[in-house]
Each structure stands twice: as structure tokens, then as C-alpha cells.
Structure 1
Amino acid sequence: MPRGKVGGKYDRRMSFDDVKDERMLVMVDKLCVWMGGILGETLNRENLIPQIRNGGPLCRLSECIQASVDDFKAANEDNDDLPSASPQGVNLTCGVRSMEARQNVTKFLDWCRQMRVPESSIFLPDDLLKLKGKMKVVNTILAVARRAKDCGMAADIDAPPKIANAFIGLEEKFGKKFDHTSKAFGTQKSELKTVKTTLVSGSAWKIVQQKIDTILQLPGKPSYEIFRV
């Protein structure tokens, strides 16, 4: 793929270096953790757009979500309008400028509409294929993540901030500081670390473990993990 000079306009369109709103960057970080955990990929602000640009990973994501949608439809009535299958005939290795890439992206967006993602939240193919609106792409996938949760998917895109808040609540309840732990679950530039601790029955750690078991259910091996000793 041809690239412009490092740090040039092309690079800024591929990364999020030109986004100055910290709240928007936090959204990108949350998306990278959530989507990376589901797909088993390491995603970050620098590689997210290049990684998904041909639409293949988006279709892979929809395939993972579709399994939860199928279970949700089987257990709940009046959901026949939800998608019955993820995008079919996807080319995962096509070039970003190929017709197959446009077909991949179009199929994913059609699937998003079947997931009842509002039309106002759905990006246009060229927002990704021609790098015309990367934050629109992010907003669409965030909307998909929340619809996936509504349809019973365990992976929760809001888990990291919920965990940070859980530790804050523990500090207030027990009068103890958990700075090293709360920082490990923070969202600053996705600097997520591994925490190791011994859990004693009835201790503050046991309580927070129970909270984490409830709100953190990402598949695979996410970057943050509580080890039981």
C-alpha cells in the first residue's frame, strides 16, 4: 500500500493523531480493547484503521456477534427482524482499493442496519475506504457494540471504566487505597497492565473479584486479567 511521508497528511488520516478531543480518544481506546479482545488481535490508535480498512475484520466481528444474536432470537419473541446470518462471501485478504473491499464494507453496513443500528450512526463506505471519516467509523462500531450487548453478548465495551469505578467504590467503603490497581484498569492510552494479587475469602479483594466476574466477560485473553492465587 503506498504511503506518504511519515507524519504527513496520509498518516494523520490513518491514525488518530489529529484528534484533539480526549473524550473521543477514550472512545477509540475502548473500541480497540473490546474489538481486539473479540478478534484476538492487538488493536490501538495507530493500527485500528489500517487493520479494518478492507472490511474483512468488520465482517469477522459481525460473525462473532451473530452467535449471540442467534441465541437471543431463540430465547426472545418478536426479534425475527434481527439478522439471521453474518455477512457471507467475504474476502478477508483483499486489497483496500479493490472492489471486494467495498463489497465487504457494504455487507457489514447492511448487517448493522439489520442489527437496528440507527441510520444516523452508520458511516458511509468511503469514510473507511477513502479515509474520509474515521471517527464516523468508530461511532458505528461503538453502536454495534452496544447493540451486541443488548442482544446478550457477554463482551462489554464499557467494562474498563466500570472496573475503575468499582475500585473507587472499594476505596470509599474500606478506607484503603487501590491506586496501583485502579490505574491498571484505567483508559489512558490503553495502558492496561496485569494485576496479580492473593484473594482471601471475605476480603476487599474477594468482593472486587466478584464485581469483576460480573462485569468483565471478554472472550479470549484480554490485556487485563485478575489472577486467582
Structure 2
Amino acid sequence: MPRRQGTSNKYDRRMSFDDVKDERMLVMVDKLCVWMGGILGETLNRENLIITIRNGGPLCKLADYIQESVDDFKANNEDNDDLPSSAPQGCDFTCGVRTMEARQNVTKFLDWARKLRVPESSIFLPDDLLKLKGKMNVVNTLLAVARRAKDCGMAADIDAPPKIANAFIGLEEKFGKKFDHTSKAFGSQKSELKTVTTTLMSGSAWKIVQQKIDAILQLPGKPSYEIFRV
């Protein structure tokens, strides 16, 4: 059951997504949960996403992680001085959801998102989150932030996990072998796995797996992942 708000015995469905009937929208919520959860090191889902981010603190933490990629992007690309120079500052990560500090957190995040060049039409209003007036507006803003983060070189691609999951299914069927990959390779954390140290032969199952993942990620340099046989 979804978590209840505060001390009230009445479940507020505005904090979960069980009233959303459009399956395509729910898929986007799931993708957002995987993406944000990987970056923040949290287990996020349809039931706890809004509850977790409602005071705006986790949004400011998300901006802090993305800002690292933005800084690198600005250093290696010209004409990007208008991108944010820092993540939101002075955020209160432990404040209550009905406090002025929570509103300040959310406002700081949204100001940062605008500097990230998220279109104004995609920016949610503070009360969409603080007063639960529009959770899908919040989701749409975060999806736009994810796309802009990828444009700025962030390895945490919101579209990569489902694409790679499908790719592995096809490769397992083709080669009759079981493959796995670093589950958090697209966030800020990385699991310790057995590293493949041998040279991959052209045409081998391993080489095709690596090429497939490279094509999905489409990132410059060496991708941050490991593959291994189980």
C-alpha cells in the first residue's frame, strides 16, 4: 500500500499514480524512477516518488549530480556560458513539506532547470509539487531535465536501461547464453563486478554485446559499465 501522509488515516491518492490510466504515462513514470533512483541511490517507484521529492531537497541533490556533467560540458564546449554555473545553493534537505524552506528548495531547483535550458512550457509550478496540484507536471519537468542532462554529457541516460534490457534479451536468445550488466552503471554508483580483461574477438558474443551497448549509450570515450557472463 502507498505510504500515508503525516498522521492522517486518509490516503491521499495525489501522491501516488494509481489514478493515472494512461499506460504510456505510467511507463514514463517508471523510467523516471529508475533514472532518478540510480543517481540518488534511492529505491523509487510510483508509490513513493512524490513523497520522496516533495520537500524539494532530493531535487536539489539531483541538480548537484547533473551539475558535475554540466561543468565538464562547459569546459569542453564553447558558447555555453549561459548554462548554470552551480547547483542550487543553501538547500534544506530535512525540512518539512509545508515549510517555507521546502518552497525555497523547489524554487531554487526550478530556477536551475531554467538555466539548464529546460523550456518554460515544461516547468511545473511550485504548488504542483508542494500542494499536490499536478504530479504529472512534475514528472514532465523531470523528464525534460533528464533529456537536457544527456545533452550535457551525463552518462545517466533515462532511455538506456530499458533499451539495454531489451538488447540483452535479444542477445541471450541469439547466443543461448545468459548476460548481465552493472545495474547502477547509469547512475552515480557502480557495483563491483568481475571485469572482462581478455581481448574481445571480432564477431564473438561478448564483442557484439559491447558494441550493442556502445550504440545504445552513444557516449564519447569509454562507457562506464562492465559486462560478464553468469
TM over 0.5: yes
Paired position in structure 1 for 2:25: 24
Task: Within 5 Å, give how 1:21-170 maps onto structure 2.
Answer: 21-167=22-168, 170=171
Structure 2 regions of 5+ residues with no counterpart? 184-192, 219-224
Which residue, out of 2, 16, 24, partners 2:6?
2
Bigger shift: residues 157-166 or 54-63? 157-166
The answer (yes or no) to whether the contact 1:149–1:156 under 8 Å persists in 2 is yes
Paired position in structure 1 for 2:212: 211
Bigger helix fraction: 1
Number of aligned residue pairs: give it: 206
Paired position in structure 2 for 1:188: none
Instruction: State the secondary structure of the residue aligned to 1:102.
Output: helix
Normalized against structure 1, the TM-score is what?
A: 0.78
Displacement of 1:163 in angstroms is 1.3
After superposition, the CA RMSD in angstroms is 3.1
The answer (yes or no) to whether the contact 1:156–1:215 under 8 Å persists in 2 is no
Bigger shift: residues 93-102 or 14-23? 14-23
Name the % identity: 79
Q: Give the distance between the partners of 2:133 and 2:226, measured in 1 at CA.
A: 36
Displacement of 1:166 in angstroms is 2.5
Normalized against structure 2, the TM-score is what?
A: 0.78
Displacement of 1:212 in angstroms is 2.8
Displacement of 1:82 in angstroms is 0.4
Paired position in structure 1 for 2:222: none
Letter in 1 for 2:6: P
Letter in 1 for 2:158: I
Letter in 2 for 1:2: G
The answer (yes or no) to whether the contact 1:69–1:148 under 8 Å persists in 2 is yes
Structure 1 regions of 5+ residues with no counterpart? 186-195, 218-223
Letter in 2 for 1:72: F
Instruction: State the secondary structure of the residue aligned to 1:42.
Output: coil
The answer (yes or no) to whether the contact 1:34–1:156 under 8 Å persists in 2 is yes
